[in-house]
A and B are shown apart, each in its own frame.
Chain A
Amino acid sequence: MSSNTIAVTVHRGSGTSKELRTETFDVPAYDNQTVLDVVSWIQQHADPTLSYRFACRVGMCGSCAMMVNGVPRWTCRTHISKVLLDNTVEIAPLRNLPVIKDLAVDMDPFFDKWVAAEGVHHTAVTRDDPIREIDTSGESRQQADAGIECINCSVCFAACDTVAGNADYLGPAALQRAWTLLNDTKDDGREKILAAVSGKGGCHNCHSMGSCTVYCPNELDPMSAIAGLKRETMKQFFGGRKSTATKQGQGDA
């Protein structure tokens, strides 16, 4: 292997077996090369049967996440030069999700949990009602503004050891979505959300290991969002004391 090639070990899954088989490819090194570029080179020049998933290539769609040297990453925004260890790199399908083929995983469990955490819009107003005012400087709005930047890439879901050990656990992304909606003036699902996230598999399963927050490519903080849900569900349990996260303007409509 010369210095201008990279030894890329790909852990390839199949739908029939849980074992991943490894295959190593020598990929030419270029300046400004992302991990996704490397995977694409393998598929275009070495093995056209290699399956993987991507769409936007600019860190917006959240479809290209993979395990890179054991770390879940968005491969389109990860420079290969930053992850190389002795000119080698290992790429595997995302952890904690069933593998369909090679590097492509089945995202269904991830999105099913998103819905199970009441990560859907709950409205109480119609088109005839006035649009609700948003206080952009409010604490809860700032929480919601941070949370809506999530691109559903499942990096946090793959990073979480609680997800790995507990099939019912809703996971960091879904719970952060619930926290975002709880803080959003335009969402009226407070009771439903708190019921969904305090049940089996809910926020109280979180052990605050923090891998979600450490590896989130958008630098969001699901661990603190889940801590927020823990506080809100506990406050509700102990008598519904008016909380700090209660939305301003709620109940006007």
Chain B
Amino acid sequence: MGGYLRMKALARSHPLWLAYILHRVSGLLLALFLPVHFWVLSMAITNPQGLDTLLLLTDSVAVKLAEFGLVFLLAVHMFGGLRVMALEWLPWTGSQKTLIALVSAVSFFIATLFFLRAV
């Protein structure tokens, strides 16, 4: 049945399906991250020393990379959500949607650049 598995994989290789799965997987990973995030934040009250030692870890390259991944997931999930809302709530033509996606992506990019210069 290996051949049939190959067949199933082929049928999904189109941008709409990839956008769908990217949105879902990023949402799942963010949902897994959030409890840990809140737990670490709660240490500010329950265990300040523990929090300080944990925060020292954020200087390591591995955590910096993980942070990049996190921001990437957030961006992907946010745009995925905006895409679904535009798709389902705005009866626009395909070219209008492409234009709007392009404009929001460029403005997000510019805004992020300004933000990074500020920090």
Tell me the A residues contacting B by CB distance below 8 Å: 9, 11, 20, 22, 67, 69-72, 90, 92, 159, 161, 207-211, 213-215, 223-224, 227-228, 230-231, 244
Are the C-beta atoms of B17 and A210 separated by less than 8 Å? yes
Interface 0/1 of B1-13, CB less than 8 Å to A? 1011011111110
Instruction: Name 19 A/B residue pairs within 8 A (Cβ), A-sorted.
Output: A9-B3, A20-B4, A67-B11, A70-B4, A70-B7, A72-B11, A90-B7, A92-B7, A161-B12, A207-B20, A209-B20, A210-B20, A211-B11, A211-B14, A214-B14, A215-B11, A227-B89, A228-B91, A231-B89
Q: Is the CB of A244 within 8 A of B17?
A: no
Give A90 to B3 CA distance when docked, in angstroms. Answer: 8
Q: Taking A70-B4, A227-B87 as given, write out 16 further A-B residue pairs in contact, using a Cβ cutoff of 8 Å, ordered by the A residue number.
A: A20-B1, A67-B11, A70-B7, A90-B4, A92-B7, A161-B17, A208-B16, A208-B20, A209-B16, A209-B20, A210-B20, A211-B16, A224-B91, A228-B91, A231-B89, A231-B91
- In the complex, the answer to whether B16 meets A214 with C-beta atoms within 8 Å is yes
Of listed B8, B17, B88, residue having the most chain A CB within 10 A: B88
10 closest A-B pairs (Cβ-Cβ)?
Answer: A210-B16, A70-B7, A70-B10, A227-B88, A70-B11, A209-B20, A214-B14, A209-B17, A230-B88, A71-B11
A67 and B17 contact, CB distance less than 8 A: no
Quick check: is B84 within 8 A (CB to CB) of the other chain?
Answer: yes
Contacts A214-B16, A231-B89; is A69 near B84 (CB within 8 Å)?
Answer: no
CB-nearest residue of chain B to A230: B88
**Which residues of chain B have C-beta atoms less than 8 A from A207's C-beta?**
20
Distance A70 CA – B10 CA, assembled complex (angstroms): 6
A228 to B14 CA separation, bound complex (whole angstroms): 22
A217 to B88, CA, bound (A): 23
CB distance from B7 to the nearest CB of A (A): 3
Which B residue's beta carbon lies closest to that of A231?
Answer: B89
- Which residues of chain B come closer than 8 Å to A211, judged between CB atoms? 11-12, 14, 16-17
CB contacts between A and B, total, < 8 Å: 65
Question: Chain A residues near B4 (CB, 8 Å)?
Answer: 11, 20, 22, 70, 90, 92
* Chain B residues closer than 8 Å to A20, beta-carbon distance: 1, 4
Residue from A9, A71, A213, A231 within 8 A of B88 (CB atoms): A231
A210–B88 CA distance with the chains assembled, in angstroms: 12
Question: What's the Cα separation between A67 and B12 when bound, in Å?
Answer: 13
Residue among B7, B16, B89 making CB contact with A69, cutoff 8 Å: B7
Q: What is the distance, in angstroms, from B22's C-beta to the closest C-beta of chain A?
A: 12
Out of A67, A213, A228, A244, name the residue touching B7 (CB < 8 Å): A67
Cross-chain contact of B11 among A9, A11, A159, A213 (Cβ < 8 A): A159
Tell me the minimal C-beta distance from A161 to chain B in angstroms.
8
Instruction: Flag if A70 contacts B6 (CB, 8 Å).
Output: yes
In the bound complex, CA of A153 to CA of B10 (Å): 20
- The 0/1 profile, CB within 8 Å of A marked 1, for residues 68-110 of chain B is 0000000000000000100111010000000000000000000
Assembled-state Cα–Cα distance A69/B6 (Å): 8
Instruction: Point out the residues of chain B lying under 8 angstroms from A71, CB to CB.
Output: 7, 10-11
